[in-house]
Amino acid sequence: MITRRSFLLTATATAAAAGLDAARAAAGAPLKRVGVQAGSLRAALTRDFAGTLEQIAAIGFREIELQWYGGNFGRTPEQLRAAFDRAGLRATSALIHTGAMLVGWERHLAAAKIIGIEHLAVVNITDDERQSLADCHEWADRFNRAGEIARKHGMWVALHNEPQFMVAASGPDGAGSETREGGTFYDEFITRTDPALVTLELDVGNMTRAGYDPVTFLRKHPSRYRLFHLKDVPPQGQDGDRPLGKGRVDFQRILSAVPDRDAAHFFVEHAVDPAAPIDTMRQSYQHLASLS
């Protein structure tokens, strides 16, 4: 049944999409697949799941990334898929914890397939889980094994970068007999994982916070990044995130360095629930549409 509210939301979504297309044509905006990280809207989605999905679709977003470990808002995979279909959204990625790869991996993949998820990205490897170079290599090998299974299901396993990954990976090697200084944990992980089995999600805000340039990694590993968290960060010494364009991340420079933008998935993220989440997402979306 078409209500006045659903009609207006559909009309608004159509106008927003047309506006983005016009902005792309005029300014050469580089993004085709723009989504939102569900954690940025956690409180709003908990209060009004369907209504919040409609609002982000009306802004112009077409994808969403779930937080698999967050309970999926009390909904089954079938219910999630139906809700996303009604809103005109696709859930193309989900964040997971390392435990999902270790226990019930096939079950997680089967549930993800129902929703339409194509990527399962490990959000973090904790300090306790990466004490040495040997730990780093063991995790990389586990990702390779999990990735091999995921590829058979038509999906990818990925690693999302945290600022603490950018520390030296040292300690006993795989044989436990020597100590050597390598690159960072992140460098070692990328080197040891198989590009045919494991992909990466580049969080440009986390990379910037760690004092590194995301463009350096895009140039060094041009084929490894299929997913992106677009998150802006405040000036040095300040806390919290910012709507895109209100912090110190140069998104135009970073996005211009992405080799195949049309094939990549970009998720706007505000790591802590903002006071006005829909307005924050709208500002961020408009900033992306303005880029050349």
For the stretch 211-229, pLDDT in tens is: 999 999 999 999 999 999 9
Beta strands in 105-167 (DSSP E): 119-122, 156-160
Structure tokens at 52: 């919040």
How confident is the model over 48-56, as a mean pLDDT? 98
Strands (E), 107-248: 119-122, 156-160, 168-172, 179-184, 198-203, 225-230
The CB-based long-range contact list for 208-211 (8 Å cut-off, 24+ gap) reads 208/233, 208/248, 208/249, 209/163, 209/233, 210/163, 210/164, 210/165, 210/166, 211/166
- What would the two tokens of residue 49 be? 């799941």
Structure tokens at 98: 């390392």
Q: Looking at residue 13, what is its pLDDT? A: 47
Please check whether residue 159 is in contact with residue 143, taking contact to mean a CB–CB distance below 8 angstroms.
yes
Residue pair 126/117 in contact by the 8 Å Cβ criterion: no
Candidates 81, 82, 96, 31; CA nearest to 61 is 31
Using 50, 70 and 90 to split pLDDT, how confident is the model at 69?
A: confident
Q: Write down all domains in the chain, each with its CATH number in brackets.
A: 4-290 (3.20.20.150)
Q: Specify the pTM.
A: 0.86
Measuring CA to CA, which residue among 102, 100, 98 is closest to residue 129?
98
Which pLDDT value is given to residue 172?
53
Per-residue confidence band for 274, with pLDDT thresholds at 50, 70 and 90:
confident
Distance CA 140, CA 147 (A): 10
Q: Is 71 exposed, middle or buried (0-12, 13-18, 19+ CB in 10 A)?
A: exposed
Instruction: State the pLDDT confidence band at 171, using cuts at 50, 70 and 90.
Output: low
Average pLDDT over residues 65-80: 92
Contact call for residues 175 and 133 (beta carbons, < 8 A): no
**Is the pLDDT at 18 greater than 80, yes or no?**
no
| Residue 97, pLDDT score | 96
Half-sphere exposure of 78 (CA within 13 A, CB side): 0
